[in-house]
Amino acid sequence: MIKFQEVTKIFPTNSPNGYPTTALDNISFEIKPKEFVSIVGRSGAGKTTLLRLLMAEEKPTRGQVFIDGLDIHKIKPGKLPAVRRRIGAVFQDYKLLPSKTAYENVAYVMEVIGADDLEIARDVPEVIEIVGLTERTNNFPVELSGGEKQRLSIARALIHRPEVILADEPTGNLDPYNTSDIIRLLLKIHELGTTVVLSTHNKEIINKLGKRVITLENGKIIRDEEEGRFIL
């Protein structure tokens, strides 16, 4: 379903020392539909760059990224939104809209993709219930705890029924209790048939999951194992 083919990403001027930084170095791997894949590595290993390439937020310096055989960096800019609608993204810093309530934050995504009011009224409460935030429907993000915010951002990523969920260190800001909550939620989503790509540097989570693990170091894949463990 997802395929990275000899992908290299070099940031020419963004590095503080003025030299080009190689974030990803000739990476190739494939993710099958309905797979749960964890991407692990130290900070700066290239995890976030990898996910950003998958969202077409960045262009690779060399190589190609395919989703269902479609090179997402070769398609016309006008077609990009359609590709992004197949992906749901969850971030470490939640990226919720502070001026909108929990309900509105989720409903907003449906408005963006052009859903009608009936669909919104039907789907939003359902998804909010899945992530266990029914009581918080009318609260603003600032009134939610870190765990609740992250559950809300998962609800937002789920609402348009994407084929893939990309979670970029979703538990980075959370305590262990909330962390296992979020992981349970991601596993539940995966069981319902969604491909999940999780990037994390939480050793405990990875060792408990028993799913495929891709380990990155200095922009290179050093390990790719089914039922992998966190080894750095």
Partner 1 sequence: MTMTILLATSLFLFKDISQILISAIREKADISVYFKTAAQEEDILNIQGELSKIPEVKDVEYVSKEKALEDFIQRHKDNQVLMGSLEEVGGNPFLAALNVRAFEASQYQAVVNFLDATLEPVYQNLIEKVDYYQRKPVIERIFALTSGAGKVGISLSIVLAIVAILVAFNTIRLAILNQAEEIKIQRLVGASNWFIRGPFLVQGAISGIISTLISLLIFALICWFLGPKIEFLFSGLNVWKFFTGNFFTIILIQLSTGILLGAISSSIAIRKYLKV
User: Which positions touch partner 1 (CB under 8 A)?
Assistant: 55, 57, 77-78, 80-87, 89, 95, 97, 108-109, 112-114, 156, 160
Residue among 12 and 78 whose Cβ is closer to partner 1: 78
Does residue 13 sit in helix, strand or coil? coil
Q: How far is the CB of 67 from partner 1 (least distance, A)?
A: 13
Q: Could you give the CA distance from residue 34 to residue 37 in angstroms, rounded to a whole number?
A: 10
Phi, psi angle pair for 151, to nearest 5°: -65, -35
Q: How far is the CB of 98 from partner 1 (least distance, A)?
A: 9
Residue among 22 and 195 whose Cβ is closer to partner 1: 195
Nearest 5°: CA angle at 95, between 8 and 59?
Answer: 20
Q: What is the Cα Rg of the chain in Å?
A: 18
Residue among 157 and 209 whose Cβ is closer to partner 1: 157
Q: How far is the CB of 181 from partner 1 (least distance, A)?
A: 23
Q: How far is the CB of 184 from partner 1 (least distance, A)?
A: 24
Q: Which of 198, 111, 106 is nearest to 152 (CA)?
A: 106
Phi, psi angle pair for 45, to nearest 5°: -75, -20
Residue among 99 and 134 whose Cβ is closer to partner 1: 99
Q: Could you give the CA distance from residue 67 to residue 209 in angstroms, rounded to a whole number?
A: 25
Residue among 30 and 57 whose Cβ is closer to partner 1: 57
Nearest 5°: CA angle at 160, between 65 and 53?
Answer: 20
**In the sheet where 195-200 sits, what is the strand order?**
87-91, 164-168, 195-200, 36-40, 212-217, 220-225
Element (H, E) at 109: helix 102-112
Q: How far is the CB of 127 from partner 1 (least distance, A)?
A: 13
Residue among 82 and 121 whose Cβ is closer to partner 1: 82
Kindly state the DSSP code that residue 45 receives in the 8-state scheme.
Answer: S
Q: How far is the CB of 222 from partner 1 (least distance, A)?
A: 29
